[in-house]
């Protein structure tokens, strides 16, 4: 019989494989070397809204399935959500999210706290915003044309 940690590890590995197939290579292996504004665009994760929702709903479904199987896994799931929220906070600083016109353009520490509390809503939103930054379709705050 498998222990809770072994089952959690197997599901976490399955989620990793799912993300590895869903996310583009640049999101997993890092952006290609570039300079200037092309480098900033290459830093962000490029996912469509459908892909962002698919990744997020897949993670939510995996977490709910784990909690349904065994409620003692809640601390592990909470740690994963903390790690994802921390990644988003660091990534938002690296991408320069505060320079863009979006409601997510806040201090990375505030983004971490709010994302941890409202993770099922903010994580897909964050992925879509980063995708729009990567595509160059999200307006900057200093852009006079918008």
* pLDDT over threshold 60, residue 14: yes
Helices 74-95/4-22 angle, 10° precision: 30
- Threshold 0.85, pTM exceeds: no
Among the listed residues 115, 64, 60, the one whose alpha carbon sits nearest the alpha carbon of residue 86: 115
Average per-residue pLDDT for the chain: 75
In whole angstroms, what separates CA 113 from the centre of its chain? 14
Percent of the chain with pLDDT over 90: 8
Could you tell me the pLDDT band of residue 38, with boundaries at 50, 70 and 90? Answer: very low
CA distance 121 to 105: 16
Among the listed residues 51, 58, 60, 62, the one whose alpha carbon sits nearest the alpha carbon of residue 128: 51
* Reduced 3-state DSSP string for 100-117: ECCCCCCCHHHHHHHHHH
78 against 39, higher pLDDT? 78
Write the pLDDT tens digit of every residue in 72-119: 888 888 888 888 889 889 888 888 889 998 888 899 999 999 999 998
Question: Phi and psi at residue 100, in whole multiples of 5°?
Answer: -110, 160
Determine which helix (DSSP H) or strand (DSSP E) holds 81, and give its type and residue range: helix 74-95
Domain layout of the chain by residue ranges: 4-135
Could you tell me the pLDDT band of residue 146, with boundaries at 50, 70 and 90? Answer: low
Output the DSSP codes for 42-76: HHS----HHHHHHHHHHHHHHHHHHHHH-GGGHHH
């Amino acid at each position: 019989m498998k222990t809770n940690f072994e089952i959690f590890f197997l599901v976490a590995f399955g989620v990793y494989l799912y993300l590895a197939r869903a996310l583009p290579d640049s999101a997993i292996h890092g952006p290609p070397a570039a300079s200037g504004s092309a480098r900033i665009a290459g830093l962000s994760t490029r996912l469509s809204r459908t892909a962002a929702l698919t990744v997020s709903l897949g993670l939510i479904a995996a977490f709910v399935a784990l909690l349904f199987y065994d409620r003692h896994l809640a601390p592990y799931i909470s740690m994963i959500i903390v790690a994802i929220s921390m990644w988003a906070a660091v990534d938002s600083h690296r991408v320069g999210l505060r320079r863009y016109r979006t409601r997510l353009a806040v201090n990375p520490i505030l983004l971490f706290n709010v994302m941890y509390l409202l993770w099922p809503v903010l994580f897909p939103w964050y992925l879509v915003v980063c995708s729009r930054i990567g595509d160059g379709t999200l307006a900057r705050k200093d852009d006079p044309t918008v």
